[in-house]
Chain A
């Protein structure tokens, strides 16, 4: 093309980034990252199909060796002063910046993502994550004195943001003093390998960080390895579920950042042109291969046709092409096989498909952006994560309906809301079931702001102070949970003076066990104290229904009102204090003085949680630019819990009341050994203005009841403090809807453990509010 011709045609031309440095790095390694004789796989450039390098297929022995090295390195690293760790993380950040261009090109070669994105998004965000967490290492001793590193973390990351996910996983783990074994995705291992060199250059001691390349079998071996203390996974919901199942009962900490089908809501009063650019940044960022992509357009009915028409025009001006070209918007998809899968999903839809008439380059991994309209909410394309440049669309009539449609999904990662009405925007932001909500924006990230999902998008947050919880544990050890067996029937039972029938408390009403069965509860001196119902699946079902119905109202009541109710609860318990002391003594055999002490401690605990009810502040995160990133603590929802056997009353109060204080409803399974304390306590709840359904109490065998709760799709979180170790059954059951679980082996009931309970009872939702006149 001559200047003259272009002067007339005014076309864009090629603007390729140089690959020289990135290829030179690969060549220095002989295009091979594997020991001699090791099993290898190939990593290719999806845009051209060209072989980039051969990489080791990590074996079980490789995982063993890496974990052993990490275990050996961990104690010294954990003991390294925070300032020293901060220096090393700071050096990593600087080195990422110094090699930014080479890394960006390498990332684009390996993933097919546009160089503009790897240069302007992946690399700066990765460096920022190390800077931020260098600061966290520096501050840990002073600001988190009661937290300690977990140990060795096994981290498994996806192919869509290979280096950025290294940063998100490695930076907080190392900052808090953990050792790491990380497995990058099979399609995209190269930047993680480059990073390993930088880590060594930064002075990270040997063994503290290991990169083990390989496919899913390598990842599975890592997750299941007995030598690791924590698994952090980012990837598909399917694999996340498998990891939850595989690690069930192993006592490993777990965080999962999984799939999404994030809603992108456009109200009629929005700046529609800006909303369309928001979609470009959302569903066509990295070709839609983003877990938080705004893949479900939900647009107000009155403007839908006009909006779709403008959107189609915009789609036609997107440029699909060579990922190394600085002048393109969509590169290659990560692998030809992935492209084929996405295309097949689109081919099967009954909706109206618009594929933008963008010229596509040669190659098997390129796909034009697609809009599918005319779909009903139940359509598979509206429900399933596509993970490609495919936007599906439906309509709403009212803000309430928009939220309803948005929340009608298994996922809950992110959401975008577009409206010029701040009242509507904040109302929707509060109601959307998502870990991140962007108002008039999309895909905004910062190391200081938590990112992560709810529902089947996983659990745990990355970024911010809340993200550190994923890589720390309480520094103080905890005594093991008490195990108590029910008092056995005496040889010569004594009849009670008057029959005592303890019922369940469900939805604010006393109810008999659905199975119609009870068991006798004996005092230690052989007296029959009464009968406790034997709960069944159906009782759990009824209790969860009641809790689900009660929770929104209880949450909406607000912290100040909840605090009043909890103080009133303390008042009413105090009025029956001597009676409860006597009941504790006769059931558990504790001396009366000790029992009276437990009642006093329970009153104090109630005060603690009444105090917390209106004091769990959120935060405004110092993200760059004119944006308020507000971290809200929202109730988890319905919490299922097995109460501890001992201390029976204090334990009960210590578990139920934090759930109530933070606006949750709960389904509690009473101590199997001493159920009548719990049933009596329900009478106090009943007389203390606790709304019906906010607490539901079932007695019976936790080993039978807790798996039902763990499997229940309408329960958000399950805790177990039962003396029997139910962690395997609970964590296995929880894999179904990927609910959070808390199944500690021990807890110090003399302390409120407020930080742990607050975190377990709430979800941090980050609401991004950009502003400007």
Chain B
């Protein structure tokens, strides 16, 4: 199946503005040469929020854009079809219509809805006709330690159930032991199992120990054909951070420079404030360019971020600070 072919019977993926990353043979020399100086990266990350500031209409426009980049997520043991339907309704109408009208914006939706496999069916049903894809976490999420054959089967089952995006988890042990070949082979097989569904490779950076490992794992995941690289499952004790993001987006830039392929980025976990979202978006604009401010190349994995953005947007419209109860539950 070529990059532009779509599986029949599913909704159109959001704005596919580029060819999919087909991957490449594992280049161990490149992997070994990756460098990430964590103290310098920490300094750059600390400067990021101060170097770029958005005010007034620009802030409102960027926040509205941020809404379209959210993978609205529920990954809880107590998820039910009813809970997922409510989330999907929120994904269809993430911001109150009167606020959008006041802002002069058309209807917008979130980037996707992200659920466990068992919740794919109700999500697909609830999102029918919206164009919003369903993303499923997979491959023994979050630890990725179930039998490899089952992990592949899980992907296939989720694709069959209608997931258009598969958020796989990599085997952290291969990174921690430097077994890049094993990491590549596994991830490559997962990509094959995804078929037309887009694969987001979760590196679980909070468990990789060093930024250098993050840099190397990012490269291997892209070589194996990841459409997105993603920081975290949300279940590690440390999730998305700006330093980790810098390392991953620099790896994306390097991969693009060498292969010409664009790979997306998804920070997940811990991004709950509108101001943080703006910082991440500025980071993408600075390091990768405006193409990475669109849902085909950038997503937030977040659950509570949307609520803060809604309050900020209402503040922009009314001039008065908002409250959470003034916005629909997700």
Contact = CB atoms under 8 A, between A and B. Distances in A.
Interface of A: 1-7, 10-15, 116, 120, 269-275, 277-278, 281, 317, 326-327, 329, 420, 440-441, 626-627, 770-773
A322 to B, nearest CB: 12
B47, B58, B64, B65, most chain A CB atoms within 10 A: B58
Contact of B50 (A116, A270, A271, A771): A116
Main secondary structure, interface of B, reads helix
Contact of B58 (A13, A281, A626, A771): A13
Contacts of A270: 35, 37
B1 interface: no
Contacts of A116: 50-51
B37 A274 contact: yes
Nearest to A275: B40
B52 interface: yes
Contacts of B62: 6, 10
A497 to B, nearest CB: 73
A14 B44 contact: no
Nearest to B281: A10
Contacts of A14: 55
A7 to B, nearest CB: 4
Interface stretch (B112-120, B169-177, B285-293, B303-311): B285-293
Contact of B37 (A3, A10, A271, A329): A271
The 9 closest A-B pairs by CB, nearest first: A13-B58, A6-B61, A770-B39, A772-B38, A274-B40, A271-B37, A271-B35, A326-B53, A15-B53
A766 to B, nearest CB: 17
A560 to B, nearest CB: 33
B104 to A, nearest CB: 5
B209 interface: yes
22 contacts: A1-B58, A3-B104, A4-B103, A4-B105, A6-B58, A7-B64, A10-B62, A10-B65, A12-B52, A12-B54, A15-B55, A15-B58, A271-B41, A274-B35, A274-B37, A274-B40, A274-B41, A278-B40, A420-B37, A772-B37, A772-B42, A773-B211
Contact of B54 (A13, A278, A420, A772): A13
Given A3-B64, A6-B57, A772-B39, 11 more contacts: A4-B105, A6-B58, A13-B56, A13-B57, A13-B58, A15-B58, A116-B51, A270-B37, A271-B40, A326-B53, A626-B39
B35 A272 contact: yes
Nearest to B243: A772
B210 interface: yes
Contacts of B4: none
Nearest to A114: B51
A426 to B, nearest CB: 16
A3 B57 contact: yes
A175 B123 CA distance: 69
Main secondary structure, interface of A, reads loop
A274 B106 CA distance: 40
A7, A10, A13, most chain B CB atoms within 10 A: A7
Given A269-B35, A440-B37, A770-B40, A4 B104 contact: yes
A1 B293 CA distance: 19
B41 A3 contact: no
Contacts of A7: 61, 64-65, 105
A441 B39 CA distance: 8
Contact of B39 (A3, A327, A627): A627
Contacts of A771: 39
A441 to B, nearest CB: 6
A277 B285 CA distance: 15
Contacts of A120: 50
Given A10-B290, A13-B54, A440 B104 contact: no
A773 B38 contact: yes
Nearest to B293: A10
Nearest to A325: B53
Interface string B238-271: 0000000000001001000000000000000000
Nearest to B209: A773
Nearest to A309: B257
Contacts of B53: 15, 326-327
Contacts of B250: 273
A1, A13, A269, A440, most chain B CB atoms within 10 A: A13
Contacts of A4: 61, 103-106
B221 to A, nearest CB: 18
Interface in B79-107: 103-106
A3 B50 CA distance: 23
Nearest to B61: A6
Contacts of B54: 12-13, 15, 327
Contacts of B40: 271, 274-275, 277-278, 440-441, 770
B36 interface: yes
A373 B209 CA distance: 38
A317 B51 CA distance: 12
B194 interface: no
Nearest to A269: B35
Contacts of A13: 54-58
A651 to B, nearest CB: 49
Contacts of B211: 773
Contacts of B193: none
A341 B42 CA distance: 36
A1 B40 CA distance: 37
Contacts of A772: 37-39, 42
B60 interface: yes
A10 B210 CA distance: 33
Nearest to B282: A12
Given A2-B57, A6-B61, A10-B293, A441 B51 contact: no
A3 B105 contact: yes
A3 B286 contact: no
Contacts of A326: 50, 53
Contacts of A278: 40
Contacts of A441: 39-40, 43
A429 to B, nearest CB: 15
A420 B65 contact: no
Given A277-B40, A420-B35, A441-B43, A11 B105 contact: no
Contacts of B44: 274, 277
Contacts of B56: 13
A327 B103 contact: no
Contacts of A10: 61-62, 65, 285, 290, 293
Given A3-B64, A272-B35, A329 B51 contact: yes
Contacts of B37: 270-271, 274, 420, 440, 772
A4 B107 CA distance: 11
A167 to B, nearest CB: 21
Contacts of B43: 277, 281, 441, 770
Contact of B52 (A5, A327, A440): A327
B246 to A, nearest CB: 8
Contacts of A11: 58
Nearest to A116: B50
Interface in B17-68: 35-44, 47, 50-58, 60-62, 64-65
Nearest to B64: A7
A13 B61 CA distance: 11
A278 B104 CA distance: 41
Contacts of A440: 37, 39-40
A270 B64 CA distance: 39
Nearest to A119: B50
A636 to B, nearest CB: 31
B108 to A, nearest CB: 9
A3 B67 CA distance: 14
Contact of B210 (A3, A275, A773): A773
Contacts of B42: 626, 772
B261 to A, nearest CB: 18
Contacts of B39: 440-441, 626-627, 770-772
